Amino acid sequence: MALPRVVVVGFQDMQAFDLIGPIEVFAAASDILAHPVYQVVAATLGGGERKMSCGIAVCTEDLRGIKPRAGDTVIVAGGSRVAIGNALADPALVTWLRTAGRVVSRVASVCSGAFVLAAAGILAGKRAATHWSGCATLAAQFPTVAVDRNAIFVRDGAVWTSAGVTAGIDMAIAMVEDDLGQAVADKIAARLVLYVRRSGAHSQLSGALVAQTGTSDPLGPTITWARANLANLDVEALARQAGLSVRTLHRRCLESVGMTPAKLIDKLRLEHARTLLVSTNLSAKSLATLCGFGNPTRMNRTFERQLGITPHKYREQHAPRGP
């Protein structure tokens, strides 16, 4: 019997991590189980060597010679704005993907590869993720796509999309978990020395990353403190911790993280609540208290405003399956 095939589709100047990251995940499954599990193929139109964004060339098969079949997983890599623009302008690539989308078991994208899937009509009416910097553009260019601006990756039926670069690894591990179970997926994560396995529930713009600013930026340690003191946090307390007036804090927040102090606090609370929803069995009341929402009603309003979903539904959709 033919092995399940994973076709990672690229193009000139594709993002190297978008191509190699998922390939390493599927290859690791075969290594861990000590027998072939997937047939992994890197493909481009015309095949041959293709230069990646880092300047290194990779050898690819000709996509035109690959006939999509049931059981396949097709993953489209991302790239720079220019590289994606060239890919979108290639009707043969878009047509191949449109055909594949009607046949294969799973079709997916990493980072800005979502634009190519959208151009092929695969994301129409679907919820989808892409790199945070491209969310507004994807939503504007393809209004029938429900762009999730927060998720690391999104699964909507047979269509999977991930945020930028390393998020493709998280998505690929989740696919392997679907195929082979959690134990194998966990071993792959350990093999790749991942700090933590991120579910699709994790936020792209995490407070942890925001807090890792340069030591010269006073907001770095202030945000670290804020994440540990969400229960009783407000803008005035944040300003006091930073040693700034509320007005100066407002300006610094806009400069450093692109949002007001109030929105920053809301984002940190929302991120913490999302993590607790998928990693604990805490009640809504306990979650609201720990995260500083005060009560479940306010937490519900924040979730519905920011994510279009209630905390209860969020937990149902994103909490790990099994014991």
Q: pTM for the full model? A: 0.69
Q: Which token pair is 188?
A: 């792959």
Q: Where are the alpha helices (DSSP H) in 120-163?
A: 135-141
Q: In terms of DSSP bridges, do strands 57-62 and 48-51 run parallel, antiparallel, or are they unpaired?
A: antiparallel
Which range (56-60, 170-174, 268-272) has the least confidence?
Answer: 268-272
- Under the banding of pLDDT at 50, 70 and 90, the label for residue 321 is low
Contact assessment for residue 177 and residue 200, using Cβ atoms and an 8 Å cutoff: no
User: Rounded CA gap, 77 and 16, in Å?
Assistant: 8
Token pair 């307390």 is at which residue? 237
- Under the banding of pLDDT at 50, 70 and 90, the label for residue 41 is very high
Residue 286: its pLDDT value, please? 94
Domains and CATH numbers, the chain: 5-191 (3.40.50.880), 207-318 (1.10.10.60)
Task: Report pLDDT digits (tens) over 220-247.
Answer: 788 888 988 999 999 999 999 999 999 9
User: Rounded CA gap, 18 and 117, in Å?
Assistant: 15
Longest CA–CA span in the chain (Å) reads 68
Residue 207: its pLDDT value, please? 44
